[in-house]
Amino acid sequence: MAAHDLFLRAEAKQETLDPASLQESIMLYKDALALDPNYVDALNGLGYSYMWQTSPLILGGVPATRYPLMEEVARRALYIEANNARAMGLLGLTVAVNRFEWHNGIALMDDALKLNPGDAEIMASYSYLLMMTSRKGWTEVADRAYQLNPLSSFTISLKMAQLQTGGQYPEAMKLIEKVLSGNADHFYLNMLRVMHAFDPYPPTHALYNPDVYRSVLKEVKAVVGTDHPWLRLYELMFAARENDSDLFNSIFDELASRSRHEPVALFAPLGFSTAQQVAVMEILSEQRQLSLVLVLLGAKPDGVAAEVWASIRERYNIAELENDDLLN
């Protein structure tokens, strides 16, 4: 089979964005590269499959193991084609999240967009990095990415985040429901649906309706299964909202145990106890989860020891993010 045929099969697998299909796409990209080691599009596709594996909604691999692979294929692609915008954008993302060289990574992504300002995936990656590091302007970049390609799962997820940031919760849910109406079994989009069904209103809000969340969770479980860490995370957070400490502790212990041998989805600071908060931060730091950055840019949680806090902030090079005028 020709390398291009393998590449097209890999692209189709990648688009489904479920853990098994992403792993299949990786194997197909590698098969294409075995036939043509200089196939830059296959290298870029391979890098994006590694990137998607790190998503907390997918969790096909621990970020600490996938980020170096992303950097490797991006550098290989740029060695072959020095001005390839997609490879440069991927390298920028990985320099930031793998090496914590935030300014260098953002600069590379700027350069990539100068080379190809019409690439929605580069634009979406750039917006995602800006959002996860609390940079100014991420919502405008997210909107541009969505306008470039409103059918991309990546741009849809960022558009929903933009809408929620602006308090447009019903509009975010209408968007995901519209997209899912034509693709009801899509793994990643269903995970997005759970997230946005849970997030809008705190229990004290007049519009808080836990039955909506319960209904969505039940429907999504029927599509993607019951024990994915992303779903277990939202069951954990719902237990916290309902002040069900027994259920919270049970799910927390489960996810902490699973983190020893697989990626898990957790947010920090999350825990009823000081020990749980510290455990979450250590798990996220060990797995190099990008979600920890937003917490590290804020105030130290009361239960976290100053030396632990300082150590993790140093590991993530948070001082570099704080020492510019782009911080929100």
Residue that is written with structure tokens 């209103």 in the block: 201
Q: Is residue 239 part of a domain?
A: yes
- Three-class secondary structure of residue 4 per DSSP: helix
CATH number, residue 82: 1.25.40.10
**What predicted TM-score, i.e. pTM, was given to this entire model?**
0.92
Q: Is residue 297 part of a domain?
A: yes
Q: Is residue 327 part of a domain?
A: no
pLDDT confidence of residue 259: 86
Q: Is residue 328 part of a domain?
A: no
Q: Is residue 74 part of a domain?
A: yes
Q: Is residue 102 part of a domain?
A: yes
Phi/psi of residue 173, nearest 5 degrees: -70, -35
Beta bridge partners, 328, equal none
How distant, in Å, are the alpha carbons of 8, 9, 254 from that of 73?
18, 19, 34
**CB-based contact 68:269 (threshold 8 Å):** no
Q: Number of helices (H) and strands (E), helices first, in the chain?
A: 18, 0
Q: Is residue 247 part of a domain?
A: yes
DSSP 150-165: TT-HHHHHHHHHHHHH
| Domain count across the chain | 1
Contacts of 139 (CB under 8 A, 6+ apart): 127, 162, 165, 166
Domain that holds residue 315: 3-322
Q: Is residue 21 part of a domain?
A: yes
Burial per residue of 8-41, b for 16 or more beta-carbon CB atoms within 10 angstroms, e otherwise: ebbbebbebbbbebbebbbebbebbbeeeeebbb
How distant, in Å, are the alpha carbons of 54, 178, 223 from that of 16?
15, 17, 13
Query: What is the full per-residue pLDDT of the chain (328 aa) written as tens digits?
Result: 699 999 999 999 999 999 999 999 999 999 999 999 999 999 999 999 999 999 988 988 889 999 999 999 999 999 999 999 999 999 999 999 999 999 999 999 999 999 999 999 999 999 999 999 998 899 999 999 999 999 999 999 999 999 988 888 889 889 999 999 888 999 999 999 998 888 666 677 777 788 888 899 999 999 998 889 999 988 988 888 888 989 999 998 998 898 888 888 776 566 667 788 788 888 888 888 888 898 899 988 877 889 989 999 999 999 999 987 666 6
